[in-house]
């Protein structure tokens, strides 16, 4: 989608991440890590390098998934087919082409699933997936919280089923939890090293402020004095504002709201409205300051002229995600010995967890739309396990082989 747009996709938050990477200032929401990745992955010269980097990590994980879950000699072709499919029928290309850390939410889930359920993974691949997991998990506080919940959930399940299935799942769950803690500590050390707090976020109450502002209780409090609304928002970003948040019981209300909103977020699979860039001054200024030679490319992009047909991808991926969910249920009912059985359970259990954690930090942001490409995995697992599909693939392979032989002779 970056090629279609003629430049990497930008949002109103992209400028904050770009600025934080160069100034080494921890943003009031999120953390500094993604900003540093932008600075170094771009070599401080072009944002194109950032989306190439994001796409490269995504392709590596998809390749390794099919290597360990499809278990066919032709697994590279399966991986290529998967990438082609999600590029054409989901918003994966939009997500990977955007200067925001949303792609790393999906990569943290995918790498976590490989660590939990891949069998007989070799040392090289294990190290590679582990590094990508820690790297991806640390990009956003919602990723860290999601993986803490998910790894704990499967650790409990591993304890319950230890007599029937052994300790393998328990050990892997503990390992994933340990890697998640490493990512939290890594970001905390980075923040401390640049003069901030030893914490994975700038401040816990400002980290949830984007989600907090969407609650009815918070909005009602602001509307009681509309004239002083800007002063109230400024005070929330102040270091003493935690007392104000606690006194008004906003945190408790926000927790309840996030649980309720998670249900809506789970089915919010259409395109994130933030992609429809609205000429954010902060973002344009950041590109002007640090990538000045690319300013012309920004202003001739399709995104600026509001001619990006992103909504089409969002509508299609709703049906693709539904098909993936239904085929995933079919795999659970009919193919219990499938190599991807555990991963399908993991994805279905993780979906509400991801929706809740995204709601905690960002409210009704529609971030599940950036994760919808994960539902294509159950679809391909079904294709691998279905005898009817395998017969058709064998016929196609035989026809292609005959054609190749006839041409060579």
pLDDT per residue as tens digits for the range 49-105: 999 999 999 999 999 999 999 888 889 999 999 999 999 999 899 999 999 999 999
Q: 93-107, 122-136, 144-158, 228-242: lowest mean pLDDT where?
A: 228-242
pLDDT in tens, 11-57: 888 999 999 999 999 988 888 999 999 999 999 999 999 999 999 99
Mean pLDDT for 338-350 is 91
Where residue 351 falls among pLDDT bands split at 50, 70, 90? Answer: very high
Q: Distance between CA atoms of 369 and 378, rounded to whole angstroms?
A: 17
pLDDT of residue 401: 66
Count other C-beta atoms under 10 Å from residue 395's C-beta: 10
pLDDT of residue 366: 81
pLDDT in tens, 283-317: 999 999 999 999 999 989 888 887 776 666 667 88
**Of 234, 51, 53, which is closest to residue 132 (Cα–Cα)?**
53
What are the φ and ψ backbone dihedral angles of 140, each rounded to 5 degrees? -150, 140
Sequential DSSP letters for 97-143: TBSSTTHHHHHHHHHHHHHHH-SS--HHHHHHHHHHHHHHHTT-HHH
Q: Is the pLDDT of residue 228 over 60?
A: no
Q: Distance between CA atoms of 62 and 83, rounded to whole angstroms?
A: 8
Model pTM score: 0.90
Share of the chain above pLDDT 70, in %: 84
**Of 180, 83, 58, 67, which is closest to residue 130 (Cα–Cα)?**
180
pLDDT of residue 287: 94
User: For residues 1 and 97, is the Cβ–Cβ distance under 8 A?
Assistant: yes
- Higher model confidence: residue 392 or residue 117? 117
- Higher model confidence: residue 370 or residue 219? 370
């Amino acid at each position: 989608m970056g090629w279609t747009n003629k430049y990497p996709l930008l949002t109103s938050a992209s400028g904050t991440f770009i600025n934080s990477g160069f100034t080494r200032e921890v943003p009031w929401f999120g953390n500094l890590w993604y900003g540093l990745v932008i600075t170094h992955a771009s070599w401080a010269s072009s944002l194109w390098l950032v989306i190439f980097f994001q796409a490269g990590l995504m392709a590596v994980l998809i390749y390794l998934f099919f290597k360990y879950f499809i278990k066919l000699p032709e697994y590279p072709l399966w991986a290529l087919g998967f990438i082609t499919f999600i590029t054409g029928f989901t918003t994966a290309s939009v997500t990977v082409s955007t200067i925001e850390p949303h792609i790393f939410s999906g990569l943290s889930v995918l790498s976590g699933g490989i660590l939990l359920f891949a069998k007989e993974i070799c040392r090289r691949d294990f190290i590679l997936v582990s590094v990508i997991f820690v790297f991806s998990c640390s990009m956003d506080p919602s990723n860290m919280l999601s993986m803490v919940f998910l790894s704990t959930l499967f650790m409990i399940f591993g304890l319950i089923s230890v007599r029937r299935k052994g300790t393998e799942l328990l050990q892997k769950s503990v390992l994933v939890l340990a890697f998640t803690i490493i990512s939290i500590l890594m970001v905390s050390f980075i923040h401390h090293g640049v003069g901030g707090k030893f914490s994975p976020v700038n401040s816990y109450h400002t980290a949830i402020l984007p989600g907090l502002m969407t609650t009815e209780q918070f909005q009602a409090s602001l509307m009681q004095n509309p004239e002083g609304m800007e002063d109230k928002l400024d005070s929330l970003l102040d270091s003493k504002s935690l007392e104000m948040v606690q006194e008004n019981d906003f945190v408790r209300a926000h927790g309840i709201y996030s649980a309720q909103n998670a249900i809506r977020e789970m089915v919010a699979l259409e395109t994130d409205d933030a992609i429809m860039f609205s000429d954010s001054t902060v973002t344009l200024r950041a590109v002007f300051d640090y990538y000045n030679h690319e300013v012309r490319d920004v202003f001739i992009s399709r995104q600026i002229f509001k001619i990006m047909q992103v909504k089409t991808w969002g509508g299609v991926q709703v049906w693709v995600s539904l098909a993936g969910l239904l085929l995933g249920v079919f795999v659970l009912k009919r193919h219990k010995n499938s190599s991807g059985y555990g991963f399908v359970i993991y994805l279905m259990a993780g979906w509400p967890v991801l929706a809740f954690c995204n709601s905690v930090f960002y409210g009704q942001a529609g971030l599940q739309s950036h994760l919808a490409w994960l539902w294509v995995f159950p679809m391909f697992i079904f294709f691998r396990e279905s005898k009817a599909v395998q017969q058709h693939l064998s016929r196609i392979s035989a026809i292609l082989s005959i054609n190749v032989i006839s041409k060579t002779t």
